[in-house]
Amino acid sequence: MTQRLGMAAYITVTAAYWALMLTDGALRMLVLLHFHTLGFSPVQLAYLFVLYEVAGVITNLSAGYIAARFGLTSTLYTGLALQIAALIGLIQLNPTWSTAASVVFVMAVQGVSGVAKDLAKMSSKSAVKVLAPTQGDGLFRWVAFLTGSKNAVKGLGFLLGASALGALGFVPTLVAMAIILTLILFGVIWKMPSGLPRGRKDVKFKDVLSKNSNINWLSAARTCLFGARDVWFVVGIPIYFYAVWSDGTPDGNRETFFQIGVFMAIWVILYGLVQASAPRLLKAKSETDLTSAAKHWVLALFFVPAILTSLTLIAGEPAPWLTGSLITGLLIFGAIFAINSALHSYLILAFTTQDRVTMDVGFYYMANATGRLIGTLLSGLTYQIGGLALCLATAALLIALSWITMRHLR
């Protein structure tokens, strides 16, 4: 593929990924805040995202094989189409249904959204390995920009979802997103250049499992790392902020939705910007240097939730100084987490080869989805049992496990 065609394909793939992640972030905030106001408990809120994460585990394990067999564009287009179907499906939710029926229905729709997101992620990340320049740190720069910009866009989605819920309502926001994403899907199909891998008929499903020890250890570390993020991110912090900031009135709820959306958006946007800047911040060129850096940065991350856990236990109950400390500390967590995530995203592509890229990336993001699933389940459970302090303490434990695992990389 020529450099010009490679850049055109990279831009088109990135645009498709941005569009899906914008709606993914908005949908997460819509579902979380809408159902919290309907009286769902923290555990019930976590259940709403369980099938989303389970679908991610299954999708990533099989999507690598599907892309290797049928081509990268097929999985990318399918991801966008399924996200549209999920948005349309959620519009059908009937407010007269029982809580149990609503939970089951939303879990199913979120499962479809989880499949959509991970199909697009696997396709986009695999495409970078094929399209990126082979000279210098080209691969690190391209994957850092794709991943970082995606997270910044998802952060805007959090703000969009929270703001639109207060301004437009649940169903009108879903309708608008479905229409816009449909237009984007047709535009991506129209503009996608040729040249991405079209698939091979000799690929076998058993080939998905990697025999590379570095990929297996990195995948295990990724599971712990993303579990550590989602154990406070999915339920704990949004519900804590709602309890602290909302007075329970409709106007108070709208203002609180916006405040929570702003925080979540700033966190994810900061995360994305730091992630995209990782090649400039680290100034490391070789695979060996970046592997060593990954081990040090995950250890640095451990101290943030450990300190925040101590502050939460000292406070005993919500207080303005604690809320300010949490905001500051979690923004620092986001910046350090972004460096870790950028290093991981580079290393998986550095460790794999072009003939196995979709399968190794699929296996790796299966581990990523497993971590999110564990974090999601623990987020509602730990918050209900021990409040925010237990969420943060669990995050620190999972990061410690990630550091132990990363030490096996060679």
Residue 254 has pLDDT above 80, yes or no: no
Residue 184 has pLDDT above 70, yes or no: yes
The token pair at 3 is: 């450099």
Q: Cα(102)–Cα(105) distance, rounded to whole angstroms?
A: 5
Q: Indicate the DSSP class of residue 352.
A: S
Residue 397 is predicted with a pLDDT of 97
Q: Cα(215)–Cα(341) distance, rounded to whole angstroms?
A: 15
The b-or-e profile of 137-168 (16+ CB within 10 A means b, else e) is: bebbbbbbbbbbbbbbbbbbbbbbbbbbbbee
The better pLDDT of the pair 353, 110 is held by: 110
The average pLDDT across 373-391 equals: 90
Residue 10 has pLDDT above 60, yes or no: yes
pLDDT grade for 315, boundaries at 50, 70 and 90? very high
* Overall size of the chain counted in residues: 410
Residue 198 is predicted with a pLDDT of 60
The b-or-e profile of 214-240 (16+ CB within 10 A means b, else e) is: bbbbbbbbbbbbbbbbbbbbbbbbbbb
What is the dotted CATH code of the domain comprising 3-193+212-406? 1.20.1250.20
pLDDT grade for 2, boundaries at 50, 70 and 90? very low
Which amino acid type is present at position 319?
Answer: A
Residue 151 has pLDDT above 80, yes or no: no
Residue 101 is predicted with a pLDDT of 85
pLDDT grade for 118, boundaries at 50, 70 and 90? confident
Judge contact between 305 and 236, C-beta under 8 A.
no
Which helix (H) or strand (E) segment holds residue 334: the answer is: helix 320-351
* Segment of 136-140, 251-255, 293-297 carrying the highest mean pLDDT: 293-297
Q: Cα(401)–Cα(62) distance, rounded to whole angstroms?
A: 27
The better pLDDT of the pair 108, 321 is held by: 321
Residue 81 is predicted with a pLDDT of 93
pLDDT grade for 193, boundaries at 50, 70 and 90? low
Burial of 312 (0-12, 13-18, 19+ CB in 10 A): buried
Residue 401 has pLDDT above 90, yes or no: yes
Judge contact between 110 and 76, C-beta under 8 A.
no
pLDDT grade for 201, boundaries at 50, 70 and 90? low
pLDDT grade for 135, boundaries at 50, 70 and 90? low
The average pLDDT across 54-81 equals: 77
Residue 208 is predicted with a pLDDT of 62
Residue 400 is predicted with a pLDDT of 97
Q: What angle do CA 273, 345, 339 make, to 5 degrees?
A: 45
pLDDT grade for 1, boundaries at 50, 70 and 90? very low
pTM above threshold 0.85: no
Q: How many CB atoms are closer than 10 A to CB 44?
A: 19
Residue 367 Cα to chain centre, angstroms: 12
Q: Cα(144)–Cα(72) distance, rounded to whole angstroms?
A: 20
Which helix (H) or strand (E) segment holds residue 106: the answer is: helix 99-131
The better pLDDT of the pair 348, 258 is held by: 348
